Amino acid sequence: MRNHHSRTARKKASTAELLLAWYDANRRELVWRAKPGEAADPYRVWLSEIMLQQTTVAAVTPYYRAFLKRWPDVKRLARASLDEVCAAWAGLGYYSRARNLWRAARMIATQQGGVFPTTAGDLRELPGVGAYTAAAIAAIAFDERVAAMDANAERVIARLFAIEEALPKAKPKLTELATKLVPKNRPGDFAQALMDLGSAVCLSKRPRCGDCPLSAGCRARQFGIAETLPRKAAKRPRPLKRGAAFVAVDRVGAVYLVRRPENGLLGGMLQPPLGEWGAAFPARAAALEEAPFTGNWLKKPGLVRHGFTHFELEMEVYVANFIRRPNGEGMWLSAPDLAGAALPTVMRKTLAHALDEDVPLFKIS
């Protein structure tokens, strides 16, 4: 039936009907997704949506399984300590999500008796839940008629209606157009169908229009501009920051770590002591003024690189061995403890570089 206008069709199927029929035959199996006909659990939808923010399905899947096994519902998650949650999150990136996840769990457990809010408007009050996430939970878990606009949904809608205005300015218009398409029945499946179509068929490069259930009504396809949409406002290049990291090692191989302040970048996570970040690497003498202890610091050849949302970081790594542990406010952790510690990826890379280990040694198991 694809690409086929039948003059005899009694009633033209709506966009939602076409999309849902496609979804029924092609839906992705995802660990957090309810089976067809099964009610979706808001806790699972919420947990998966927070994890999926700026992160791929493949990266999220093992973390999602581990979280669900350890904390099968929101009340149990609320009883965990922030440190336990951050440690379990380590490696997934964007750590403010872990703190917000924990804070939101506490709010739901203490103020709402462990029951999730049911509308997108109320869900948005939770820490870490933005417009998209609120709409996704409301649609998928509570069948509210709202459009959940992630990048996949935005792309499909921009193409369907040939919207040439650039993102992010076009967002409200795309949301409005999508909202009008949401059917009374199955708004949750509609939201997931739009995401699945975007990830499997309406690809950003080379959309597979020949396999698309919406191709007959797609204006971007008709105009031959699908691949150029959605337009995006030019991004500013990310600035580069540089600095030094100090890895102190004791005679049994334990390393010295300090905790970052609760708020801000990588808040509450552990790291080896770092110097200030600037446009250039500090010269050796200036760098060593920032070292946590006096010692025989040797600069490792090479660099550690890491991309954050708003900047790129490059670090030179200084290593010193100590027979006796110098006194400091931080803590000494040995290799087995490092595996379960709240260490973000960039700091795992730094330790791996310092100790000539492969990063996997420090990965979560």
The catalytic site residues sit at 49
Give the burial class of 235: count Cβ atoms within 10 A of its Cβ; 0-12 exposed, 13-18 middle, 19 or more buried.
exposed
Q: Which range in 109-117, 154-162, 169-177, 293-301 contacts ligand SF4 by CB under 6 A? A: 154-162
156: contact with ligand SF4 by CB under 6 A: yes
Stretch that binds ligand SF4, among 18-26, 212-220, 281-289, 350-358 (CB under 6 A): 212-220
Which window, 137-145, 199-207, 320-328, 354-362, contacts ligand SF4 (CB under 6 A)?
199-207
Nearer to ligand SF4 by C-beta: 68 or 158?
158
- What φ, ψ does residue 346 adopt, rounded to 5°? -60, -35
DSSP per residue over 83-120, as a string? Answer: HHHHHHHTTS--THHHHHHHHHHHHHHHHSTT----SH
How many C-beta neighbours within 10 Å does residue 245 have?
Answer: 25
Pattern of binders to ligand SF4 over 110-149, x per CB under 6 A? ----------------------------------------
Task: Give the separation between CA 186 and CA 130, rounded to whole angstroms.
Answer: 22
215 in contact with ligand SF4 (CB under 6 A) = yes
Q: For ligand SF4, which is the closer residue by CB, 65 or 208?
A: 208
By the rule CB under 6 A, 157 interacts with ligand SF4? no
Structure token pair of residue 277: 């970040």
260 binds ligand SF4 (CB under 6 A): no
Q: Helix, strand, or coil here: 331?
A: strand
Contact flag: residue 163 with ligand SF4 (CB under 6 A)? no
Nearest of 312, 306, 309, 308 to residue 351 by alpha carbon: 306
Site for ligand SF4, rule CB under 6 A: 156, 159-160, 201-202, 207-209, 212, 214-215, 218, 220-221, 226
